[in-house]
Amino acid sequence: VGSSLSISSDGKNVTLTPNSILADVTTYAVVVSTSVKDRNGLSLVQEFRSIFTTADETAPTVSSISPSSGSIQVPVNSSIVINTSEPVAADLNLSQVVQVSGGQTSVSGTTSLDNTGRIITFVPTGNLAESTTFTVTVNGLRDLGGNVQ
C-alpha cells in the first residue's frame, strides 16, 4: 500500500498515512526495520512489526435480482431470487426487508436466506397475476459486521 510518512518536530513520532482508503476486512502489516536511525545515528535494536485488520464498513447491496428488471413472459409460479454483494445477517426479518408488489397490491409470500447468506428467495403464496408489472423493493439488508443498506 502506498503511503506517506511525517515526523513530529521532536522526532519522537512518525505518522504513516496511506495514499488511499484501506480495504475492508483486510490484514495489513507495518514493519519498521533496523535500518531506521534516531537523530544520533543509532539504529533500532530489533525490527518492529504491527499487524492489524481493518473493520467491515461497507453495507451490503443487491447485486442481482431474478427475474431481472424488464423481464416479460415470466411464469406466474416464479420465485424471486435476490443475490447480495456479501453475506447478510441470518437474524434479519426478511419479510420486512423484501417487499414485492404488483401494481398497488402487495404480494404475500415467504422469504428465506440460503446457507451462504448471499441468496434471498421470495416465494409468493400463490401464482403471480398475469400481465402485471411487479416491483421488488429490498431495503434494510444488514451484513455480519452490522452495516445496514
Query: What pLDDT does residue 11 have?
Result: 86
The alpha carbons of the chain give a radius of gyration, in whole angstroms, of 25
The pLDDT of residue 39 is 85
Q: Give pLDDT tens digits for 52-109.
A: 999 999 999 999 999 999 999 999 999 999 999 999 999 999 999 999 999 889 999 9
What DSSP string runs through 13-81? Answer: -EEEEESSPPPTT-EEEEEE-TT-B-TTSPBPSS-EEEEEE--------EEEEESPTT--S--TT--EE
Q: Comparing 33-42, 50-59, 113-122, which segment has the lowest mean pLDDT?
A: 33-42
pLDDT of residue 38: 86
Alpha carbon distance 64, 80 (integer Å): 11
Question: What cell was used for 55?
Answer: 473493520
State residue 12's pLDDT score.
Answer: 87
Q: Could you tell me whether strands 27-32 and 48-53 are parallel, antiparallel, or unpaired per DSSP bridges? A: antiparallel
C-alpha dihedral (10, 11, 15, 16), degrees to nearest 10: 160
**Residue 27: predicted pLDDT:** 97
Place of cell 539504529: 43
**pTM of the entire structure?**
0.75
Q: Give residue for cell 409460479.
A: 77
